[in-house]
Chain A
């Protein structure tokens, strides 16, 4: 297939230019890694407005003087304005930085093998969705690299990126906001064909119908508008659009959290069915842990832009090590009244990711917190080849995964 050779060509060029090491490419081929994310960071710069209280007071005073004596009033006003621009740099007025960093994603690593469903879980505001968008380069990362099939997608030109986009798709959380209300289902699904010149005319329309069938919609749905569909049907439409270009990798950004319970199960079954049929690889983002437990092969627990613990789903749910994972899992209500669990309660809410304190991100709510957590980033502790937790105060584990490779 021509697209395969395109990826290979880009990969070869990147190695030749010295942009990526050949290690990544051989690793990809050997372990069948579809996507490798290394130390990915995404910061948003938020301008902080000046605190104008002192300035306003001084200016009002100047206006009062101005009423009695124009010359003195004007010169005081001038002085106040000059001070306003100088003082923020002079103690004690320089406490505020002009820009705050919102560290939405602060260095995450992911390793996604072909045909796997990898879960990314965490509370709202922990950066899951930003991570997803940064991984498929809908947002430009602040630092770090994303290797898709051994090529560094952040170094591609926009023309090259367009080719790669066909293989990286996303299904958004809100099926009400992510579909164009003025386009019919047919128009929505046919758009990718037109953009990539895959098919046109009758052939494209035929493909649309077969995609609708794949996601469990009927042919007569093709000429309906999004508002004529229910929430579950809309999400099916979103999935059909993502499938249109036969991608290898799909990010599922909370695809079922806005849906009703019974519809939720149907969409999950569809997602699994399509994976079997088309050999897809998913990054599944969710906050519903009971769903992640049964759906995902591997699970990554995220908190304030950092991965706290990652491993296979069995390791995470049966043998969790990190205090945050423990609290998060114990908080999930279990649908079995005979097993009312004892819960670990976290105090307070998730703090803001703007200018976070040094050390461990979880320090403000952690039941095990000690002095070192406030100073140093927690080290990795490996409990198996795939199971790692980042914490100062948990016991056991090895310093590197190599200890488990023989």
Chain B
């Protein structure tokens, strides 16, 4: 499943982002490694508060500072480290080669400008066009994302659009400069299922048409299953598991991935198949030591998981897990304690 290195569009290495607040240091992202290939959709999934959105902001270098700060790591896009770029150079990439769609289309659109103005703004900023050409381009892109009678609606204000249409405007804005990478942060969470299906289909179609990569951030495993080629599961500032979508859904290796998949109603599953992950996501000012999932984990190896951070284990090329069940230390612990830790498979019906 691994692809040649020249196919890599974005690589994040050892990213670490903290927020220095009055209550203490929020260790939002501890260590993140992500690969995004060309024209691939990568899902980033996890509970709220696991650091998904901060990862997105860190890629674009728009973490609110203060209180946030990227402490370590590289964000390599097309072979250059975005963190080393000057602000001016970064602005040329942001919105042009890497674009982002935010969760709430109402708060991320400016209420006092027409949507046409807001789409044109990005075009004028990144391309050498006149205002009139930018407007024509805006209309074109609006009809492309399925806004009916775009030539009239271009002069409307955001409040005159419904939720689904606003999200289409956001997508139009993001697509206006033909980005190579689109970061979609919960693009369909606040929408109804029927509208969600429309928006996801639009994203799928445009990513094919523009040959664009997408990082899709969501907490909905269903959306991940419908949309993505690969998926990265995040928990409290770490990537637990990353791999091909079909493998992850069929035989998850990490206990947290297993828990997430068990907690959602899957097709053909019965009431009894719903399982729970104990406890709640920790406060990241004082996160649990070492593997941050250990207080909630059914496979906790006492004395190991809470003292040594598990290293990343490659199960097969492209499928990485960060869990002691698969590390050398973990195997030694199991032998020493004479206990076996093995991830149970998914309920039978669901895998079939």
Contact = CB atoms under 8 A, between A and B. Distances in A.
B266 A335 contact: yes
B261 A123 contact: no
A337 interface: yes
Contacts of B224: 335
Interface in B182-225: 192-198, 200-201, 219-225
A232 interface: yes
Contacts of B250: 338
Residue with the highest number of chain A CB atoms closer than 10 Å, among B197, B201, B260:
B197
A345 B267 contact: no
Interface in B213-242: 219-226, 228
A339 interface: yes
- What secondary structure prevails in chain A residues at the interface with B? helix
Interface in B90-113: none
A345 B197 contact: yes
B219 A265 contact: no
Residue with the highest number of chain B CB atoms closer than 10 Å, among A124, A264, A336:
A336
B194 A328 contact: yes
A333 B225 contact: yes
A263 B350 contact: no
Interface stretch (A19-27, A97-105, A266-274): A266-274
A269 B47 CA distance: 19
Interface stretch (B74-82, B170-178, B269-277, B315-323): B269-277
Interface residues of A, number: 39
Interface string A345-388: 11001100000000000000000000000000000000000000
A290 B222 contact: yes
B88 interface: no
Residue with the highest number of chain A CB atoms closer than 10 Å, among B162, B221, B224:
B221
A262 B259 contact: yes
A214 B200 CA distance: 41
A349 B261 CA distance: 31
A368 B277 CA distance: 44
B248 to A, nearest CB: 8
B200 A333 contact: yes
Contacts of A332: 193, 222
Given A260-B219, A333-B222, 16 more contacts: A232-B280, A260-B281, A262-B263, A263-B280, A265-B275, A293-B265, A294-B274, A295-B265, A333-B223, A334-B226, A335-B221, A335-B264, A336-B266, A337-B225, A345-B197, A349-B162
Interface of A: 123-124, 230, 232, 260-266, 268-269, 272, 287, 289-291, 293-295, 327-328, 330-340, 343, 345-346, 349-350
